[in-house]
Copies of this chain bind each other. A is one copy, B any other.
Amino acid sequence: MSKKEALLKAAESKVRIGGYGNFSFRELANEVGIKSASVHYHFPTKADLGAALAHQYTNSFLAALGDPVAIKASGKNPIEVYSQLFRSALITDNKMCLCGLLGAESDSLPEQVRTEVKRFFNQNLAWLCSAHAENGDKNPAQSAIATVSILEGAMMISKSLDDNSYFEQVTQTLK
């Protein structure tokens, strides 16, 4: 793993725990074994790093999701695949969704970062809209918004109350 990748990985963990303000160039540099000034070589400003982080997160999230049409064709429910990805983000990583946290503090974010967060949700909405349409939903756009909302909200509640069973209860509602 390159230093640049290591920086992004360290930053992702910190942001998913405490938001955009929860990481510093110094901390990141210490964790990957370089000096803080060198972080600026890879990412000129903190906003650049934040934007790259959200961009990468969105890409790997979408890649992990796959194609909703293909999922449906293979006999699986794409909505369950979707909620399973949220579940593993919460249970396996024991952390919030990166863009969920950043989205909540959207109004205090540098514009480059906010743009990437918007991209995350727009892509998620498009995916879910397609998925609900495949399931024969009469209002797939509305269902798409309801699905992301309830999953992001359930993550937030589970984190707040430090009990992932809240998330599990909510995902049963989805079935």
Binding site for B on A (CB under 8 A): 17-19, 21-22, 95-96, 99-109, 117-118, 120-122, 141-143, 145-146, 148-154, 156-157, 159-162, 166, 169-170, 172-173
Most buried by B among A18, A95, A141: A18
Dominant secondary structure at the A interface: helix
Q: Which residues of B contact A141 (CB under 8 A)?
A: 169
| Cβ-defined partner of A159 (8 Å) among B17, B103, B157, B170 | B103
How many copies altogether? 2
Q: 3 nearest interchain CB pairs?
A: A18-B108, A153-B153, A103-B160
B161 close to A156 (CB less than 8 A): no
A101 close to B105 (CB less than 8 A): yes
Q: Using A22-B105, A96-B104, A104-B96 as known contacts, say yes or no to A156 and B152 having CB atoms under 8 A apart.
A: yes
Q: Which residue of B lies closest to A165 (CB)?
A: B145
A122 close to B156 (CB less than 8 A): no
